[in-house]
Each structure stands twice: as structure tokens, then as C-alpha cells.
């Protein structure tokens, strides 16, 4: 993964890695499926609170979700 990869691509990779559908991912972090769809299309980006939930619920670092370092 490139260091400047978009959040949409990173979220897509996370979902593939964890074998999550948009609906499952939405339930895990407590948002609507349509919000996940908007993020994946690049039409919107998750805010701070949702980024925090993603990191906590999926055990992912903030640096990774922001494209600052590779997934460990």
C-alpha cells in the first residue's frame, strides 16, 4: 500500500481483510450502511468520532487508517 492512499481505499482494504460487508462494517462501528457507501465512493470521509470507532472496533491504528503507515 502506498503511503498517500485514500481513506476510501484503506477502508476497502480493511473490509476485504476482515471479510466484512458494508452492512456488517456499519453495524460494528454504529453508522448506517449508506454512510459506509459514501466513504467507499470517496463522496464523504469519516469524521474524528467515526475514525476513532473504526480504530477501536477493528483494532487498527490511527496512523494506518490515515494512510501514514502500513497495517501491522
How do the residues of the chain divide into helix, strand and coil, expressed in percent and rounded to 5? 60, 0, 40
What are 17-61's pLDDT values in tens digits? Answer: 999 999 999 999 999 999 999 999 989 999 999 999 999 998 989
- Residue 24, pLDDT score: 97
pTM confidence score: 0.82
Cell output for 59: 483494532
First and final C-alpha spacing in the chain? 12
User: In this structure, are residues 38 and 44 in contact, taking their beta carbons and an 8 Å threshold?
Assistant: yes
Domains and their CATH numbers in the chain: 7-65 (1.10.260.40)
The whole-chain average pLDDT of the chain stands at: 88
Q: Residue 28: in which H helix or E strand, if any?
A: helix 22-29
Amino acid at each position: 500500500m502506498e503511503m498517500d492512499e485514500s481513506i476510501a481505499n484503506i477502508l476497502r482494504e480493511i473490509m476485504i481483510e476482515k471479510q466484512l460487508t458494508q452492512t456488517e462494517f456499519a453495524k460494528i462501528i454504529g453508522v448506517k450502511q449508506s454512510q459506509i457507501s459514501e466513504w467507499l465512493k470517496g463522496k464523504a470521509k469519516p469524521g474524528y468520532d467515526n475514525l476513532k470507532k473504526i480504530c477501536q472496533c477493528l483494532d487498527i491504528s490511527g496512523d494506518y487508517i490515515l494512510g501514514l503507515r502500513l497495517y501491522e
